[in-house]
Structure 1
Amino acid sequence: MISWKNHFLYQIDYQHWANDKLFESCDMLSDEARKRDAGLFFKSIHGTANHLLVTNLLWFARLRGDHVDLRPDQQVHDDWRELKLALKQTVRQTQHWLQAQPHEFFEGELRYRIASGVEHSNWVHDVLTHFVTHYAHHRGQIAGIATQLGAPIPEMDYIGYRRDMQDSLANLRQAANG
């Protein structure tokens, strides 16, 4: 049986992989196309990717018991390359921090305050489930708009990630034996 910790370490690694697949597709678009209002809640591809970064920063701070003063729609990076790099780094930082946590952390309760000052309490595994499904939700929105704008369809489903990881392990084994 897989532990909550291992489950979420796989899930966070998947987020990194899926973001890379999405960025490869979105890189085919012009900066103007990525920033054009496409009717999304956070307006554009760029705005929605920026929201993913802000969301990661907010939840990562809450998990650590810290506070960051960010709004969900706050623009952090105007440059696409800087935004992608910041999102990659933040996802990896989250992954490494979670790796260092004891198994019990994932079964514990998280108390945090939202921007309005209201205190909430949720199980850590529920917060992390929200975190990863929130990413998938917004990545799907971005992929749909990017595809409509002419970008290639990014194949970023979880089973594709697992296959890629299995293939990578098989290649490493073959290289070590050959």
Structure 2
Amino acid sequence: MLIQHFKMLARYNTLANHKLYGACSQLSDKELKQIRPAFFKSIYGTLNHILIGDRIWMGRFTGQEISSTGLDLILYDDFEELRKIRVLEDEKIENFMSHLNQDFLTRTISYVNNQNKVYTDPVDMLLSHFFNHQTHHRGQIHDMLSQTEIAPPVLDMHRVLRP
């Protein structure tokens, strides 16, 4: 049951990102990068942060130790390049979740956070955090979009996943 839940969240994540990037693509580069009252300073900064977070957590899930420093880096300065990389990352996430098994869900993962503290947490909680992190920051982008001329897309899970 939990495996199906994470598969559903992965699918939702892909579709929600697609909708969000579609709305963001209507903004100029200046609007995307405009400094706003947000933790990662702009729509563009927040899009990059989500990708950074995804790479950190996916690395941890696959047994790599990935540093969680530089959470505000701009990995890709060009929106279309960032969008293409987002699509590839979402494919990796869906593929990973499609191969989940019960053994993996009962494990723990030890990692070093961005304040150099070591934590060991259950995988099922970390997977939930992984998807919650994206949703949290998509909500921030949704709010920043509402400050532009572009209407933010509907991102309610039940509406995004509805056939």
TM-score w.r.t. the length of structure 2 is 0.92
RMSD: 1.4
Q: CA offsets, 1:57-111, max 9 Å, x none?
A: 0000011110234521121100111111112211221221232232221232222
- Bigger drift between 57-66 and 140-149 goes to 140-149
Residue 18 (structure 1) aligned with residue 16 (structure 2): yes
Shift of 1:39: 1.4
Extract structure 1 runs of 4+ deviating beyond 4 A: none
Alignment gaps of 5+ in structure 2 = none
Quote the residue 1:143 is aligned against: 142
Q: CA offsets, 1:106-153, max 9 Å, x none?
A: 232222222444221111111111111111111111111112111122
Equivalent residues of 1:52, 1:87 under 8 A apart: no
* Aligned residues with identical type, % of pairs: 29
Equivalent residues of 2:10, 2:97 under 8 A apart: no
Matches within 5 A, 1:85-164: 85-164=84-163
CA distance in 2, matches of 1:120, 1:132: 19
CA distance in 1, matches of 2:143, 2:114: 30
Greater share of residues in helix = 1
TM-score w.r.t. the length of structure 1 is 0.85
Shift of 1:21: 0.8
CA distance in 1, matches of 2:122, 2:74: 29
Q: Secondary structure at the match of 1:148?
A: coil
CA distance in 2, matches of 1:152, 1:117: 39
Shift of 1:6: 1.1
Quote the residue 1:170 is aligned against: none
Alignment gaps of 5+ in structure 1 = 165-178
CA distance in 1, matches of 2:90, 2:106: 21
Q: CA offsets, 1:34-70, max 9 Å, x none?
A: 0000111000000000000000000000111102345
The alignment of Structure 1 onto Structure 2 pairs a total of residues equal to: 162
Equivalent residues of 1:34, 1:46 under 8 A apart: yes
Q: Secondary structure at the match of 2:111?
A: strand
Equivalent residues of 2:107, 2:122 under 8 A apart: yes
Match of 1:67 among 65, 68, 75: 65
